[in-house]
Amino acid sequence: METAKITVRASGTYDILISKGGLSGIGKAAAERFKPCTVAILSDDKVFPLYGKTVMDSLEAASFRTVAHVIPNGEQSKTLDNVTAFIDCMVKAQVTRTDMVLALGGGVVGDMAGFAAAIYLRGIPYIQVPTTLLAAVDSSVGGKTAVDISAGKNLVGAFHQPALVYLDTENLKTLDPSVLRDGFAEVIKYGVILDKKLFDTVAKPNSFDLKEVIARCIEIKRDVVEQDEFDKGLRGLLNFGHTFGHAIEKLSGFTITHGSAVARGMIIAAKVARVYGFTDYTDIITKVVKDYGFETDCPFKANELYSVILSDKKRSGANITLVLPKQIGACTLEKMPASQVLELMKKAGL
């Protein structure tokens, strides 16, 4: 079994280890990097029964002590209250600054565990064990951690890089097909923003080695994060399809999933790019999105999308930065007055 290693050099330096079937090797990988300590695991009630024992047994065999805290699965669990409950569990288990947190699950658990690790005792290290495709290619890498509050998603959080990311692609086999598909929206995104070869590789579903594709996505994210860890500019490229996607998600009352919304958001961005004066890639992007089984029509009008976009936290002043494809594999950040975004959407037929 071959393990791929990608190293991230940001405010912390850490390895991302990617294997096909290597979950039980996590103890060894941790022991090679960290002194024996207590590992406080945060997981959810779908993932923990599947993989919790393997992770705990492996860590304990490598002289780590483990404690686990399991939350109900789903976005509604990503709350400050649940972070507090996890922190209470760590206090009870006498977790100290020389101990660690481990996130076993998708982006929800990863964001929460990372946030708990960022604030507990003013910051302790944490390991990400991503078990969804989205978490593998996106949320487990780059150190953005957060929880949702009633005013909106991810409004409370911190930058805190993990100390290790440990991914076994075999774990993705138990994913609900719609959750797996959501992750492919992010994979397609990486191709459009920075890598035409990746885009061409993934254009046909099921025709490629998933481990290799995941590794390439992580390399792209690594390169972006190393240049702009704190999201001051370039990292904005990763939001391709997300400005419109978030608006669609919100307007649907979150009945349209994140991946499905981002997929439609990428098509809107391509349409907007066309009326903005760039080459038209709408058909190419729409075809790929369709081939993955995503819906391609946006059920909302320009005015509705615009009102949500305006309230988005990513808006700075009166300007909005859109990520638009100049070519497949080369997106640019286009800063423009908010009113121009509305005009472009209308011109694009929304």
Ligand X SMILES: NC(=O)c1ccc[n+]([C@@H]2O[C@H](COP(=O)([O-])OP(=O)(O)OC[C@H]3O[C@@H](n4cnc5c(N)ncnc54)[C@H](O)[C@@H]3O)[C@@H](O)[C@H]2O)c1
Closer residue to ligand X, CB minimum distance, 132 or 286: 132
- Pair type for strands 144-149 and 100-105: unpaired
Segment interacting with ligand X, rule: CB under 6 A, options 4-12, 132-140, 245-253, 323-331: 132-140
Taking the complex as a whole, the smallest distance from the CB of residue 286 to ligand X amounts, in Å, to: 23
Letters for 63-82 (x = contact with ligand X by CB under 6 A, - = none) are ----------xxx--x----
Please report whether residue 261 would count as binding ligand X according to CB under 6 A: no
Taking the complex as a whole, the smallest distance from the CB of residue 257 to ligand X amounts, in Å, to: 8
Site for ligand X in 8-27 (CB under 6 A): none
Please report whether residue 135 would count as binding ligand X according to CB under 6 A: yes
Closer residue to ligand X, CB minimum distance, 70 or 345: 70
Closer residue to ligand X, CB minimum distance, 118 or 342: 118
Segment interacting with ligand X, rule: CB under 6 A, options 134-142, 208-216, 267-275, 322-330: 134-142
Q: Which of 144, 211, 222, 235 binds ligand X (CB under 6 A)?
A: 144
Q: Residues 162-183, buried b or exposed e (16+ Cβ, 10 A)? A: bbbbbbbbebbeebeeebbbbb
Question: Total number of residues binding ligand X (CB under 6 A)?
Answer: 30
Token digits of residue 217: 């996505």
Taking the complex as a whole, the smallest distance from the CB of residue 302 to ligand X amounts, in Å, to: 25
| Residue entry with tokens 């590794």 | 215
**Within 13 Å, how many C-alpha atoms sit on residue 120's CB side?**
29
Q: Which of 44, 168, 249, 334 binds ligand X (CB under 6 A)?
A: 44
Contact by Cβ (8 Å): 100, 125: yes
- Pair type for strands 13-19 and 4-9: antiparallel
**Within 13 Å, how many C-alpha atoms sit on residue 153's CB side?**
16
Q: Which of 22, 125, 142, 162 binds ligand X (CB under 6 A)?
A: 142
Judged on CB neighbours under 10 Å (0-12, 13-18, 19+), 296 is middle
Sign of the CA dihedral running 200, 204, 207, 211: positive
Q: For residue 221, what are the CA distances in angstroms to 2, 140, 159, 187, 229?
A: 22, 10, 15, 11, 10
Point out which residues bind ligand X (CB under 6 A).
44, 46-47, 50, 73-75, 78, 105-109, 111, 131-132, 134-135, 138-139, 142, 144, 153-154, 171-172, 174-175, 179, 182
